[in-house]
Amino acid sequence: MKHPLTTLLALVAGLAAAATATAQKFEGLALTPPMGWNTWNTFASNIHEELIMATADAMVANGMRDAGYVYIVLDDTWSALERDADGNLQAHPEKFPSGMKALGDYLHERGFKFGIYGCAGRKTCAGYPGSWGHEFQDARKFAEWGVDYLKYDWCHTDTADPRDAYLRMRDALYAAGRPIVFSICEWGQSRPWEWAADVGHLWRTTGDITDCYDCVQRWERGWKVILDLQYSLVQPHDGQNNGIGRYAGPGHWNDPDMLEVGNEGLTLAESRAHFSMWCILAAPLMAGNDVTKATPEVLAILTDPEAIAIDQDPLGKQGWRFRAETGREIWVRELAGGDWAVALLNTGDEPARLSVDFSHMWFIEGERRIRDIWKKRDAGTTAQPFTDVIEPHGVALLRLMRP
Ligand code: GLA
């Protein structure tokens, strides 16, 4: 006969296993960084169902869906200002009169996935109902509507602990049973890279982006400022292990915020460099422009298959800054199969002839062929330095390939 203590221990172990089995996130949903489009950067609260449907139609016609941008995410202000009599979230009656289920169906029928925004606090950042105390009810409603992606914000949270709040919503999503990518948006305040790999599939690392190169507004920053911030978040910087890159990988990504590519505060060169750097960072690629009006030049950036292949590289290793000097930065990213990506950034305000000398890159063994991704040409081998004239705040994005 078993000793009663053995039986008790087995029971406790069984209960613990059962608890772990229910408290987990959906695995395998974001093995590469999620790609899609989000309403916020261009439209803020001016959203409605015709805009979402027109955007989806445009993304089919202009090749964005087929390039990988499948998550269409409604950010803040999609809901009614009040919950219904049963406490359920409901669609804003004027903006989304057909309701969320119908909109989700429209997107699914066209090969997209449906993303929505929520907030851990009592209210969202724009003052709409938050999920505080309604987590399980809201997760069930999202699942019922066919939601595939939840961005979950952090306004009006009083003294709540982010770990508790995001764990609670993760468990609610898991209990609702529909696989949903969980996007944590607490702006890096509690260092989510240290605790969120088992909670969400991506986590914001900083405050909000805006469409400039390096401006700083009260809460919003240009992409270069965010790039530097994300780089410096964790000390010490020891070669390949610098910044917070080591915390990212398949299923759990650092999120330096959505793209401003194509928005009016950026030159075309700045948009191209912003996109290139987000690919080096293994960042989620959430377009934030009006895709119904995107120019061919902007679409060429967003849909470039060679740049996207760097972002979506299956090894899932985030890149890092190899050199930073006045007027020039060099970033590198290890790719699957022994390839490397290199970005040569002109941080100066004038066009400049810049070089990369690969003989300094001790971590790359053997010679590689160089592919210049934006110029669409082969550019010799790593036996010679690469040199080109680069526009102000522009970039050369290279793929170093095995011969
Ligand atoms: C916060 C988020 C933004 C956006 C707004 C919406 O600022 O960081 O990305 O979702 O809220 O109100």
pLDDT at position 17 is 43
Q: For residue 187, how far is its CA from the centre of ligand 1 (angstroms)?
A: 9
Q: Tens digit of pLDDT for each residue in 125-141?
A: 999 999 999 999 999 99
Q: Tens digit of pLDDT for each residue in 342-401?
A: 999 999 999 999 999 999 999 999 999 999 999 999 999 999 999 999 999 999 999 999
Residue 321 has pLDDT above 60, yes or no: yes
pLDDT at position 125 is 98
**Residue bearing the CA closest to ligand 1, atom 8:** 208
Q: For residue 170, how far is its CA from the centre of ligand 1 (angstroms)?
A: 19
Atom of ligand 1 nearest to the CA of 125: 12
Fold of 26-311: TIM Barrel (3.20.20)
Average pLDDT value for residue range 310-335: 96
Average pLDDT value for residue range 155-166: 97
Atom of ligand 1 nearest to the CA of 154: 1
CB atoms inside a 10 Å sphere around CB 265: 13
Residue from 76, 221, 257 whose mutation best tests the ligand 1 pocket (most atoms within 8 A of CB): 76
Q: For residue 104, how far is its CA from the centre of ligand 1 (angstroms)?
A: 22
Neighbouring residues of 258: CB distance < 8 A, sequence distance ≥ 6: 38, 40, 41, 209, 284, 286, 287, 288
pLDDT at position 231 is 80
Q: Tens digit of pLDDT for each residue in 242-290?
A: 579 989 999 999 999 999 999 999 999 999 999 999 999 999 999 999 9
Written as one letter, the residue type at 193 is W
pLDDT band per the 50, 70, 90 thresholds, residue 13: very low
Asked if the domains at 26-311 and 320-401 fall in one CATH topology, the answer is no
Q: For residue 74, how far is its CA from the centre of ligand 1 (angstroms)?
A: 11
**Residue bearing the CA closest to ligand 1, atom 12:** 125
Ligand 1 pocket at CB < 6 A: 40, 75-76, 124-126, 153, 185, 208
CB atoms inside a 10 Å sphere around CB 90: 17
Residue from 47, 75, 187 whose mutation best tests the ligand 1 pocket (most atoms within 8 A of CB): 75
pLDDT at position 233 is 77
**Residue bearing the CA closest to ligand 1, atom 3:** 208
**How does the average pLDDT of the chain come out, rounded?**
93
Residue 326 burial (10 A CB sphere; 0-12, 13-18, 19+): exposed
Atom of ligand 1 nearest to the CA of 185: 8
For tokens 């610098």, the residue is 242
Q: Tens digit of pLDDT for each residue in 304-314?
A: 999 999 999 99
Neighbouring residues of 109: CB distance < 8 A, sequence distance ≥ 6: none
Assigned token pair, 309: 């292949």
pLDDT at position 2 is 46
pLDDT at position 230 is 85
Q: Which residues are catalytic?
A: 153, 208
**How far apart, in whole angstroms, are the C-alpha atoms of residue 379 and residue 64?**
28
Q: Tens digit of pLDDT for each residue in 169-180?
A: 999 999 999 999
Q: For residue 198, how far is its CA from the centre of ligand 1 (angstroms)?
A: 23
Q: Among residues 32, 53, 51, which one has the least CA distance to residue 42? A: 51
pLDDT band per the 50, 70, 90 thresholds, residue 232: confident
CB atoms inside a 10 Å sphere around CB 295: 11
What ranges do the domains of the chain cover? 26-311, 320-401
Domain at 320-401, CATH homologous superfamily: Golgi alpha-mannosidase II (2.60.40.1180)
CB atoms inside a 10 Å sphere around CB 46: 10
